[in-house]
Chains A and B, each alone.
Chain A
Amino acid sequence: MAGDTNFTNDIEESHKGHSYQTADAQGGFDVIKSDELTGKYMNLDLVINRYANERGQLIRILQKAQDIFGYLPEEVQAYIAERTGTPVSEVHGVVTFYSLFSTEPKGKNVFNLCMGTACYVNGAQELMDALKRRLNIDEGETTPDKLFTLKSARCIGACGLAPVLVINEDVHGKTSSSDIEKIIQSIRKKGEKSANKKH
């Protein structure tokens, strides 16, 4: 993910109520926030126009919307409902049904630990306990500094590499608790460094 250097700003940004995730690229926060939001809604419009005429594409639209906004806040759900002529209750019902959708913003680094059977019998539970302890959060939560989100996945299909930890998009196979320690420390360090640079 880009935008490491905007680490501190990212946090402020997310406190203001919407996703900081795409606040990376072009020099960060010189871009005025509302413009950025408008841009996102414009992208969303493109998606809706593309799929609204096909039957049963609500899930696809929501997936794309989540890619754009990072999560699906109520405003976005209401917007999609209105633009597709679907009752808000139905949109919300779909969002809450599927585990892929999130109504909360995610942290900068999403740890997705596979808890599929192959990973489980190879010690994924111990890793999960270690992660929870180390990050001091529960499954599905985000650390207060918005650096880490901890989630569990159901078999990502790399069972040969069990236990598997996916960090953002990177797959780490045969993970041990000492690997976890190293990874967390290096992310924290990176964060501190860029924070120091700002001051």
Chain B
Amino acid sequence: MQIKSIEELKSLKEKHLPLIKQRLGHRNGLGLTQVLVCSGTACTSSESEDIRIRLEEEIQNMGLADNVRVLKTGCFGFCEYGPIVMVHPGEIFYCRVQPKDVKEIVETHITGGEIVERLLYMDKHEGKRVYSIKDINFFKSQKRIVLRNCGVINPEDIGEYVARDGYFALADVVINKRKEDVIEHISKSGLRGRGGAGFLTGKKWEITATQDVTPKYVVCNADEGDPGAFMDRSILEGDPHSVLEAMAIAGYCIGAKQGYIYVRAEYPIAVKRLEIAILQASEMGLLGNNLFNSSFSFMIELRFGAGAFVCGEETSLLHSIMGQRGEPRPRPPFPAQEGLWGKPTLINNVETFANVPVVLREGWEWYSGQGTSTSKGSKVFSLAGRIKNTGLIEVPMGTSLRTVIFDIGGGIPGNKKFKAVQTGGPSGGCIPEEFLDLPIDYESLKETGSMMGSGGMIVMDEENCMVDIARFYLEFSQDESCGRCTPCRIGTKRILEILKRITEGHGEMEDLELLEELSYDVRDASLCGLGQTAPNPVLSTMRYFRDEYIAHVRDKRCPAGVCKGLLHYTIDEAKCAACGLCAKVCAVQAITGGRGQPYRIDPEKCVKCAACAAKCPREAILKGYQKGRGKNNNTGILTGSGSTEDRAAL
């Protein structure tokens, strides 16, 4: 079937609407049970595909197939509690489901009508199980605009996207609107790019639209190179059509017929969903020639990244799409002027595109009413690291970091103390506790020395060493530096060397000054964003955690107990039972001893792998700093995490 009018789109919507309504909580007497299984990457990694297949089999075997449907859906965001299975009607939310639980769900819930209590989310504060998704704290402070379809629709069925008003914005634009008016609408909404820099989207569209060179191209940046970030992937996996629709709208506005999505090859599920979505949209006539009987045609193809972080940078990305080495080039000319094959090219991020249909449908007035004065709408973040509820969240711009980390994220596990939150990935910085009440927007994050970035948020606690984290990011940037320009290629190497020196205990106080100076030089002299932002993790940790640097350099100790060069292990002779387990597990034979005698660790041989400490049944193996051996406090264990008391004592 080819859809050529709004009426035809409406009738497709009507067909799928009842099922969708039920999933949104309407008790519309369908006489049907729907079982949604999360099929995002995280849940798939923990066997959600197996669960789905077993559910289907079990339902078939029980003769329930007429009244029960099993469906895939996109990421609910609550990855920590995956795999997730949701049953409608009732919006019953089952967490951490395993394949072996399938039988019970079918027998008890679907046939028996009773809820399987033990699989419900446990609210530890209240001490009771929570039935519905709405009552889980993780979801309470969120506002899902971009993620509105994730966990609701089946991403492999275009009809369900249409039932959520999908492609209506495209139809309206193509049939009724002038491109200038659409661009103005986007401009007025205040939408800014979600790929990092926060450039005004309407402005970018306008610049590309006014170029009088043809052909032009639309490119979606789905490279998502920030390690630890998975917003774009989840959008593509859970709601791929929202991106396709927006790209077509962009094509109409700037006068392009061809779009490319540049997606990481490391995202096989996202790639598959995109392929299915493009195929279905083409079959329905929502992509292809003469959309809605107009003269406007638009096609989309996929191009694949092959594991190079710099390819997220727009000029590198263009080279990569053309099949070349993904090296950046100086701007101007900007891609909007000279992009793919020298033609004007509009590049936007996945999440930026996913906002566009909403902006057009709900109106710019509504959209610009969300968020802060400079940053409109919402932002999706992937929360990870030392946090209880790892997952994908969406909050209005202006929400505080505290709300995100403690209310939604549930705080730090194991009663550890919050130390910093890292935003912006390798281009961003670490934000310390004093800024927890900061409302999140582009400007406020920049002021702290970090940046919005694409939305990765990594939480760190007292057991993370900030110097080591800086080293980690620099190692990343150095490794990913494409080598095109000297400041980035050599500069990051030198910075990394200094950081290594410090973490290994050979740092000098002068190194700190050198580090700072070098960081500014690399920032100011590099060719592309990679080099210009690579020093940010160093600068921000030096700004907020200078005492940790000084502890490493002057006192030769790592307060968090991470840097191996500054640690040593000893055995508490009073506690040692001479069982010999430690010696057995030691890979380098650094531990010696015998029956009835306490064991000893030879510091020369020890590689500080901590295997012995993990094995010791009596917790007799102590982790201490090189200088001044750790004292035995009440518990007798020096955890090395450096409680304030220990730190003072050392």
Contacts and interface: CB of A to CB of B under 8 A. Distances in A.
Nearest to B321: A56
A81 interface: no
A122 B385 contact: yes
B229 A155 contact: yes
Interface in B302-352: 303-309, 320-327, 341
B230 A155 contact: yes
A154 B42 contact: no
A55 B609 contact: no
B46 A63 contact: no
Nearest to B389: A160
Interface string A66-95: 000000000000000000000000100110
B41 interface: yes
Contacts of B303: 56, 59-60
A25 B301 CA distance: 34
B611 interface: yes
Contact of B41 (A63, A90, A158): A158
A53 B250 CA distance: 27
B230 to A, nearest CB: 4
Interface string A15-44: 000000000000000000000000000000
A159 B308 contact: no
Contacts of A59: 303-304, 306, 320, 323
Interface in A166-184: 171, 173, 177
Given A121-B385, A160-B82, A100 B41 contact: no
B422 interface: yes
A155 B228 contact: yes
Nearest to A136: B587
B564 to A, nearest CB: 9
A159 B82 CA distance: 12
Nearest to A121: B385
A163 B297 CA distance: 46
Contacts of B385: 117-118, 121-122, 159, 162
A62 B324 CA distance: 12
A115 B227 contact: yes
B80 interface: yes
Nearest to B270: A157
Interface residues of A, number: 44
B383 to A, nearest CB: 9
Interface string A102-135: 0000000000000111111110001001100110
Given A55-B341, A117-B456, A160-B79, A97 B308 contact: yes
B306 A154 contact: no
A101 B321 CA distance: 16
Contacts of B460: 121
B609 A129 contact: yes
Nearest to B82: A160
A47 interface: no
Given A129-B609, A155-B230, A156-B41, A118 B390 contact: yes
B259 interface: no
Contact of A121 (B42, B267, B326, B386): B386
Nearest to A177: B611
Given A59-B304, A159-B230, A120 B382 contact: no
Contacts of A133: 587-588, 607, 609
B482 interface: yes
Contacts of B323: 55-59, 94
B621 interface: no
Contacts of B458: 117-118, 121
B212 interface: no
Nearest to A60: B304
A126 B609 contact: yes
Contacts of A196: none
B610 interface: yes
A195 interface: no
B386 A122 contact: yes
Contacts of B422: 117
A157 B320 CA distance: 22
Contact of A159 (B79, B326, B425, B614): B79
Q: Which 8 residue pairs spanning A and B have beta carbons closest together?
A: A116-B227, A160-B79, A117-B228, A98-B306, A118-B384, A58-B323, A171-B45, A160-B390
Given A97-B327, A161-B46, 4 more contacts: A100-B306, A117-B425, A121-B469, A154-B225
Interface of B: 41-42, 45-46, 79-80, 82, 225-230, 233, 265-267, 301, 303-309, 320-327, 341, 382, 384-386, 390-391, 422, 425, 456, 458, 460, 464, 469, 472-473, 476, 482, 587-588, 607, 609-611, 614
Interface of A: 54-60, 62-63, 90, 93-94, 97-101, 115-122, 126, 129-130, 133-134, 153-162, 164, 171, 173, 177
6 contacts: A98-B305, A100-B266, A117-B456, A154-B307, A156-B266, A160-B79
